[in-house]
Amino acid sequence: MQLLQNKVREEGIVLSGQVLKVDSFLNHQMDPILMKEVGQEFARLFQEENINKVLTIESSGIAPGIMTALELEVPMIFARKQKSLTLREDIYVEKVYSFTKQESNDITVSKKFIHPGDRVLIIDDFLANGEAAFGLARIVEQAGAQVAGIGIVIEKAFQPGGKLLTEAGYRVESLVRIAALDNGVVTFA
């Protein structure tokens, strides 16, 4: 996706060989035109999968998730990282480790939103080690639903997440794949 690649090249900030900051268009300030294009591309890639739900994780997955759900004309659910007074029981819970934040979170989804037979598309902003995607997939599978695919806005292909998810049998579609973040420069795969 050339538009996204251009944004990463022009506005992405390489903080280290492992971390790319994209807060000007994806995970702090959001570019709605870009998010619309991202949603359209995920909808195109997964159009044959009979998806009836989109699942993401708060907060950076919400923009690409909602735009994808809009294009597919299906509901979007986001897994919560923080405990909520309104989500107490009848929830799916999975522990997910965040590489960027260097912390583990319990993510939760209400059982009333995912059901056996649902075909769920997982959308997330970044893929590094695959922890968030695997956690979301486990929630879908706990519900007796099926992971129809995993859509990633930016994959750090030099980390093992994409390979691990594919080896586990999931279809992964990344809009941009980064081969390296060396010497302050983004190299695309």
Q: Say which CATH number the domain at 84 has.
A: 3.40.50.2020
Query: What is the pLDDT, as a whole number, of residue 86?
Result: 61
Query: What is the pLDDT, as a whole number, of residue 84?
Result: 61
Cβ neighbours of residue 109 under 8 Å, at least 6 residues apart? 55, 77, 79, 80, 91, 92, 139
Q: Give the model confidence (pLDDT) of 22-67 as tens digits.
A: 999 998 999 999 999 999 999 999 999 999 999 999 888 999 999 9
Query: What is the pLDDT, as a whole number, of residue 9?
Result: 95
Dist CA 121 CA 30 (whole Å): 22
β 146-156/172-182 pair status: parallel
What is the mean pLDDT for each group of 10 consecutive residues in the chain (189 residues)? 94 93 92 96 98 94 97 97 68 85 87 97 96 97 97 97 98 98 94
- Please count the structural domains in the chain: 1
Query: What is the pLDDT, as a whole number, of residue 77?
Result: 98
- Range of 124's domain? 2-188
Upstream peptide bond of 16 is cis (omega within 30 degrees of 0): no
β 185-188/91-98 pair status: unpaired
Among 142, 164, 43, which Cα is nearest to 90's?
A: 142
Please tell me the pTM assigned to this model: 0.94
